[in-house]
Amino acid sequence: MRDPKNNPDGLSGRGHKRAASRVLRRFKLSSMGYRIIVATLLSTLAAFVVGWAWHLLHTPPNWTFRYLIVPLESRYQRPSAISEEDFTGIIALGGMNYPDRFAEAGRLARLYPELKVLISDPTDVAGALAILGGGIDPSRLIVETNSESTYQNAIFWALLVHPKPRERWLLVTSALHMPRAVASFRKAGFEVVPWPVYDATSQASMLSLALHEWLGLVAYRLLGRTGELLPR
């Protein structure tokens, strides 16, 4: 017989096995309950996202424009007047679907002939000069071809030009894209002045782009790629 002194709970060997079995069953039940809770939460979240997307698609355009598009597109205004001496250069963020960005960057480059012109696009100098519209000295132009995201735009340019604290750069990109671009370039060490471009596109396309930008803003902030969610 087991000595009670060495068995303070008063359980025999079989008693210990039964107790262990009960604990194991409780653990399995609790794990199963946890999985059920997680699955329920994920299902609820998925249903919410689907319902929200359906709601947006069937909501009057004024609502989506007011709450999703306007806060991004009207975040920044172009400076009323700029002096060429106050800036180091122009940064234009490219994309095949955004020719207006390069058209505006080319206009600024011709208007301020002393500024450097930095272009992010998978092209060479000759191609960049063509999409900028010509009339620009090639020696002013630097083309960055490797970036595949706004984050990489900012990081690669920082490595290429090493921005100094007192340098200011005109940042040219779509108005909807500008908040994420500004936050990314500030995080990389650039002092940028936004110069938004208002792309000619349909409202359905604008809604899709706005959702993409809101998700991008949240993701970049969570990943530490930006220092603020919605920069001023």
The CATH class given to the 81-222 domain equals alpha beta
Q: How far apart are CA 232 and CA 220, in angstroms?
A: 16
Residues in the chain with pLDDT values less than 50:
1-2, 4-13, 16-17, 19-20, 23-24, 27-30
Q: What is the CA radius of gyration of the chain?
A: 28
Predicted local distance difference test score (pLDDT) of residue 49: 52
Q: Say which amino acid occupies 146.
A: N
Three-state DSSP string of 51-102: HHHHHHHCCCHHHHHHHHHHHHHCCCCCCCCCCHHHCCEEEEECCCCCHHHH
201 DSSP 8-state letter = -
pLDDT score of 209? 86
CB burial string 130-144: b at 16+ within 10 A, e below? ebbeeebeeeebbbb
Kindly report the length of the chain.
232
Model-level pTM?
A: 0.72
Measured at the CA of 25, the angle between CA 19 and CA 30, to 5 degrees, comes to 125
Cα separation of 67 and 212, whole Å?
A: 14
Boundaries of every domain in the chain: 1-58, 81-222
- Least Cα distance to 141 among 124, 165, 125, 121 occurs for 125
Quickly count: other Cβ atoms within 10 Å of residue 51's Cβ: 10
The pLDDT tens digits of the residues spanning 140-152 come to 999 999 999 999 9
